[in-house]
Amino acid sequence: MNIQNISAVIFDLDGTLIDSLPDLAASANRVRRLYQMQELPIEKIRNYIGDGMRTLIHRTLTDSREGKNEELIEEALAEHAKYYSEHLLDKTVLFPNTENTVKSIIKKGLQVSLVTNKPEKNARKILEYFGIAELFTAIHGGDTLPKRKPNPDLLLLACEKMQVQPENTLMIGDSENDFLAARGANCKIIFANYGYGKKEYLPAEPDAEISDISELLQFI
């Protein structure tokens, strides 16, 4: 794979650094129960993660990846946001090898940042809980700027804060939004196939693919 001259790495969060599926699914299914809907299997909700909280709740309410429920969305979203913010660390864990890999990248002289569509406050809370928040030069969430991934602005902001060029920056993520944001920012992109997204959703081939975060070190 042609990945060269990398001076910084930007990580996605859900499905890339953390396995948050149990807590996201519990909150999403709680929303369905509020409207007397049957709970969805956790693997189905796994397929609905990656495009931000609003889209997750639209998909959860309609049980469709392309579905929308404009009638219930605002109330349901408020319920999910409140409950999830209080329970986002009940069962969430770091993926294996995450902390050591991030520290190894930094030891090699590279900076790392985080860009997620999760609200910035929640992202910071999770990273602080696992004791790794201080490793990241920038932590940006879906509400940091007016636009979130797949818009490239958050990645460009992270590059600016790290004082690196986007073409020398590597994005690691598990979703189509990560791919599109990286391409839009002119960053390299590695697909984390152990996460929640499916490679078939990507519009083109990534620069590389990993099945464990530790495999990232071979490209640094």
DSSP string over 141-198: -TTTSS--TTSTHHHHHHHHHHT--GGGEEEEESSHHHHHHHHHHT-EEEEETTSSS-
| Count of domains observed in the chain | 2
Q: Number of helices and strands (H, E) in the chain?
A: 8, 8
Question: Is residue 61 domain-shared with residue 104, that is, in the same domain?
Answer: no
pLDDT digits (tens, 9 = 90+) for 67-126: 999 999 999 999 999 999 999 999 999 999 999 999 999 999 999 999 999 999 999 999
Q: Answer whether residue 135 is part of any domain.
A: yes
User: Catalytic pick from 12, 14, 23, 207?
Assistant: 12
* Domain of residue 50, residue span: 21-87
Question: Is residue 12 domain-shared with residue 77, that is, in the same domain?
Answer: no
Region 37-59: what's the mean pLDDT?
Answer: 94
* Whether residue 212 lies in the annotated active site: no
Q: Answer whether residue 212 is part of any domain.
A: yes
Q: Answer whether residue 159 is part of any domain.
A: yes
Structure confidence at residue 164 (pLDDT)? 98
Question: Is residue 137 domain-shared with residue 196, that is, in the same domain?
Answer: yes
Kindly report the average pLDDT of the chain as a whole number: 96
Q: Answer whether residue 156 is part of any domain.
A: yes
Last residue of a domain, one of 87, 111, 127: 87
pLDDT at 4 over 90: no
Last residue of a domain, one of 63, 87, 111: 87
* Backbone region of residue 186 per phi and psi (left: phi > 0; alpha: psi in -120 to 50; beta: other values): left
> Rounded to two decimals, what is the model's pTM?
0.95
Question: Is residue 75 domain-shared with residue 98, that is, in the same domain?
Answer: no
pLDDT at 3 over 90: no
pLDDT at 1 over 90: no
Question: Is residue 52 domain-shared with residue 97, that is, in the same domain?
Answer: no
Percent of the chain at pLDDT exceeding 70: 99
Region 172-179: what's the mean pLDDT?
Answer: 96
Region 158-178: what's the mean pLDDT?
Answer: 97
Last residue of a domain, one of 64, 87, 110: 87
Question: Is residue 59 domain-shared with residue 157, that is, in the same domain?
Answer: no
Structure confidence at residue 137 (pLDDT)? 98
Question: Is residue 145 domain-shared with residue 48, that is, in the same domain?
Answer: no
pLDDT band with cut points at 50, 70 and 90 for residue 2: low
pLDDT band with cut points at 50, 70 and 90 for residue 22: very high
Question: Is residue 117 domain-shared with residue 74, that is, in the same domain?
Answer: no
Question: CA–CA separation, 106 vs 102, rounded Å?
Answer: 6
Question: Is residue 97 domain-shared with residue 29, that is, in the same domain?
Answer: no
Question: Is residue 64 domain-shared with residue 122, that is, in the same domain?
Answer: no
CATH classification at residue 108? 3.40.50.1000
